[in-house]
A = this chain, B = another copy of it.
Amino acid sequence: MDTSSDSPVTELTTEECWQLLASHEVGRLATTAGGVLDIFPITYVVDNESLVFRTGPGTKLVELTINENVAFEIDHYDDREGYSVVLHGHAQQLDTMSEVDQAKTLGIPDLFPTERPRVVRINPTHITGRRFRRS
A residues with a Cβ closer than 8 A to B are 8-9, 26, 28, 30-32, 37-41, 69-73, 75, 77, 82, 84, 86, 88, 110-114, 132-135
Contact = CB atoms under 8 A, between A and B. Distances in A.
A89 to B, nearest CB: 10
A71 to B, nearest CB: 4
Given A26-B75, A77-B111, A41 B134 contact: no
Contacts of A28: 28, 39, 73, 75
A30 B37 contact: yes
A86 B40 contact: yes
Contact of A9 (B32, B69, B113): B113
For A30, A75, A84, the residue with the greatest tally of chain B CB atoms inside 10 Å of its CB is: A30
A75 B40 CA distance: 9
A39 B135 contact: no
A113 B132 contact: yes
18 contacts: A8-B113, A9-B114, A26-B77, A28-B73, A28-B75, A30-B39, A31-B37, A32-B32, A37-B88, A38-B86, A38-B88, A39-B71, A39-B73, A41-B75, A110-B135, A111-B134, A113-B132, A114-B132
